[in-house]
Amino acid sequence: MAQHSLTSSQKHGTLQTIQPNSISTTDPHDIRHMLSSPRYSKSSYYRILRFTATDSLVTTRDKEKVSRMRRIFGSYFNATYVARMEPLILDCGIIRIMRIWDQAIKEDGGKINYCETFNLATFSIISRLVFGEEEIRVHKNSSGGQMDTVRWMSKATTYMCFRAVLQLLPPWIFHLVTMPWDHYCREVSDYVDQCIRKRQLSNKSQSDLLQALVDSLKPQDNGTPLLSRDEVLAESFLLLIGGIDPTAYTMVWTIHLLLLYPEHLQKVQTELRHKFPPEKDQLLTFSQLRNQVPYLEACIYESMRLVTVPCVQIPRTCPVGKVSLQGREFAEGTTVFANIWGSHHSPLNWDDPERFSPRRFLDDPRAKHSVFAFGHGLRLCMGKHLAMMNMVTILANLLRSYNIKSPVDYSHTGPEIKGAGDIPKLMPMSQFVSAKPKYPERDCQLIVSRYKDEKKNNNN
């Protein structure tokens, strides 16, 4: 969908009519304007992300509810609170990955699958932050079998993404198709409910996202809680769905792109190893890394530009009274899609847009303002700090401590396999809600080794 709209925008200009009452824009100025203006509201398309009886922050179009929710959750997503979550994030993220990679080095010549490791780490982090459960629990599934938390959440979130898209079908077909899997929604909400009760009973406050849910249920001075139990459940679904895939797959694409462009991989590793010599074994924290690894940050931004994981377009509805975009007037109720993918790939906005070129963010720091992977303006992603902390700490620690290379028998993907414009070809991608590798088992294998050990061997 995203690629089709890009080709079409290149043919017909940045603003185009896609249906009688819908337009789409790839112009960064238009996108910034409409996403930061309170006059435009979220369009009714967001209903497909509704998994419970009540609207969540992401689906609601009620302005009062939006500002109430963003006020309540804002203090749990700001840089200070996120910093308090860091020990948990390190433990479930980078420490867990390093354990897996070290074991693979010992037992399997360092062969790992980075799509699997990033998914596992992000699942573990979000599961710990939202469920408050560090250990992997075994769940009973509907057929009486057993599943661990990671597999169970993976199945549940995959189902929810499918369910979101299927909502575009007529209601009776939708219910027929989704009925056999609907137990996932019930199981997730029962589990969240159980975790909330456990935390309430323990009476111990912790720095995580479950605490945000528990605190919002506490009665205020007027005797009523900030949120109802249904609203809290709706929010927990949003955190689970929104928190996992985009973070995991942005890291997957960043590693893939660094493998396709080894000159940038080398520059990132030189930056990290020069500033934080790996001989000193300690783990790098986000507070040490913040503003210290501009090359790595530029690579993450460039990866989000080139392969924007939430690859759907962002829809808004034109307000009462006409609005004008690029000199054309649009009536109240017109849907305007911010075509993020098209904007990120347009030669009008970026030089040589199909090439992975992190330097564009170092040469012009303002370029970041034209990357809309986290949305923009009033409804900017609430988890942006958390996601950046996850991605920077995980990628920095890995690329500093390990050498990475593709398996020797990889002849189908690599820097020398070129596509149009003599640009290294990306691995095949599926663009169903999120941009994911189409064949992760085949294409995301990696051989890893400890930099320190290789250096020692080379010196001997």
Q: Is residue 57 part of the contact set for ligand HEM (CB under 6 A)?
A: yes
Cβ 118 to ligand HEM, closest distance in Å? 11
**Nearer to ligand HEM (CB atom), residue 3 or residue 411:** 3
Q: Is 373 in the site for ligand HEM (CB under 6 A)?
A: yes
Residue 23 is classified by DSSP as: E
Token pair belonging to 4: 């089709």
CB of 106 to ligand HEM, least distance (A): 31
What's the CA gap between 80 and 349, in Å, rounded?
A: 34
Which residue from 250, 285, 335, 346 is in contact with ligand HEM, where contact means CB under 6 A?
A: 250
243 binds ligand HEM (CB under 6 A): yes
Q: Is 132 in the site for ligand HEM (CB under 6 A)?
A: no
CB of 422 to ligand HEM, least distance (A): 29
> In this chain, which stretch among 12-20, 131-139, 245-253, 276-284 interacts with ligand HEM, using CB under 6 A?
245-253
- The pair of structure tokens assigned to 59 is 């689906």
Q: How far is the CA of 38 from the CAs of 63, 238, 318, in angstroms?
A: 9, 22, 11
Cα gap 247→352, rounded to integer Å: 26
Nearest to 233 by CA among 197, 263, 267: 197
Q: Counting contacts by CB under 6 A, is residue 247 touching ligand HEM?
A: yes
Which one of residues 85, 212, 284, 387 is an interface residue with ligand HEM (CB under 6 A)? 387
Token output for 203: 């009476």
Site string for ligand HEM, 67-106 (x = CB under 6 A): ---x------------------------------------
- The CA radius of gyration of the chain, in Å to the nearest whole number, is 23
Residue 48 found at the interface with ligand HEM (CB under 6 A):
no
Q: How far is CA 355 from the centre of its chain?
A: 22
d(CA 383, CA 238): 11
Q: How far apart are CA 121 and CA 391, in angstroms?
A: 11
381 forms part of the interface with ligand HEM (CB under 6 A): yes
Beta-strand ranges (E) seen in 253-401 are 314-317, 323-325, 328-330, 335-338
Q: What's the CA gap between 268 and 293, in Å, rounded? A: 8
- Rounded Cα distance between 328 and 262, Å, is 45
- Does residue number 296 form part of the binding site for ligand HEM (CB under 6 A)? no
239 in contact with ligand HEM (CB under 6 A): yes
Is 195 flagged in the annotation as binding?
A: no
Q: In the complex, which residues of this chain contact ligand HEM (CB under 6 A)? A: 57-58, 70, 238-239, 242-243, 246-247, 250, 309-310, 314, 373-375, 379, 381-383, 386-387
Binding residues for heme: 381
Binding residues: 381
